[in-house]
A = this chain, B = another copy of it.
């Protein structure tokens, strides 16, 4: 097994066709997607722009869909939901299709489109993803969404947690990239105090300033959901 980590989508090689890519955006896009699907959402269209989201919603039928998304962490005007996992209750999202656009997460999913398959991970479902990866993937790429094209520590910690879980299950790290080794060390250091760390990272500080304190605590929970969402044809679903 070859394990690679990319701290930002910009580092990705041109071709991903042999790889299983895991997209990670802990604060908050992939945490919100995992929570929505765990609470019964049918699927989530992940799109780049607000206009595109509205257009797809009109195509499917506005009554059938929920528009979700943020710009600068705040719900887009006219949208039904923001990008908070706490909004994704069974009452709101159960049986519904979501159309979602976020600053970093949806861009990372789009960057992974050419991969053999794409899984969606957050701390909320990290063990389920690790178990699925350990079942035989040969070329694994963990893709951190990062923050505004920059390194984001919370995504590196989640990638490192996946790496450590894989090491525990498979017992070797011969074909780990430098970034995979680094991510594992960061997980080892920060996972024991992950909620405190998420309040300290750049994305966490911005969320706290905007009043999303509970979101940060929520996204710091480890493996509360036993699901592995897949991204295919621009949709995230179980």
Q: Please give the residue numbers on chain A whose beta carbons come within 8 Å of chain B beta carbons, in ascending order.
A: 5, 7-8, 10-11, 147, 149-154, 156, 177-179, 181-182, 185-186, 189-190, 200-202
CB-CB nearest in chain B for A4:
B150
Q: Provide 15 A-B residue pairs closer than 8 Å at the C-beta atoms, listed in order of the A residue.
A: A7-B7, A7-B151, A8-B11, A11-B150, A147-B178, A150-B178, A150-B179, A151-B178, A151-B179, A153-B181, A153-B182, A154-B178, A177-B202, A181-B201, A189-B189
Measured between beta carbons, the chain B residues less than 8 angstroms from A8 are: 10-11
Residues of B within 8 A of A178 (CB): 147, 150-154, 156, 201-202
**With A177-B202, A189-B189 as given contacts, are A149 and B182 in contact (CB-CB < 8 Å)?**
no
Assess the A182–B156 pair: CB atoms within 8 A.
yes
User: Looking at the complex, which one of B10, B149, B150, B185 makes contact with A185 (CB distance below 8 Å)?
Assistant: B185
Q: Report the minimum CB–CB distance from A220 to chain B (whole Å).
A: 15
14 more A-B residue pairs beyond the given contacts A7-B7, A181-B201, A185-B186, with a C-beta to C-beta distance below 8 A = A7-B151, A8-B10, A8-B11, A10-B11, A11-B151, A147-B178, A150-B178, A151-B179, A152-B178, A153-B179, A178-B201, A178-B202, A182-B186, A185-B189
Q: How far is the CA of A190 from the CA of B190 in the complex (A)?
A: 16
CA distance A151 to B180 in the complex (A): 10
Residue of B whose beta carbon sits closest to that of A177? B202
Q: Which chain B positions have C-beta within 8 A of A186?
A: 182, 185-186
- Please tell me if the beta carbons of B149 and A11 are within 8 angstroms of each other in the complex: yes
Which residues of B have CB within 8 Å of A181? 153, 200-201
- In the complex, the chain B residue whose C-beta lies closest to that of A154 is B178
Give the nearest-CB partner of A190 in chain B: B185
**Chain B residue contacts of A177, Cβ below 8 A:** 150-151, 202
Which residues on B sit within 8 Å (CB–CB) of A190?
Answer: 185
Contact of A182 (CB < 8 Å), options: B5, B10, B147, B182: B182
CA distance A30 to B201 in the complex (A): 30
The 4 tightest CB contacts between A and B, nearest first, are: A153-B178, A151-B179, A10-B10, A185-B189
Residues of B within 8 A of A153 (CB): 178-179, 181-182
Whole-angstrom distance between the alpha carbons of A151 and B178 in the complex?
7
CB distance from A163 to the nearest CB of B (A): 14
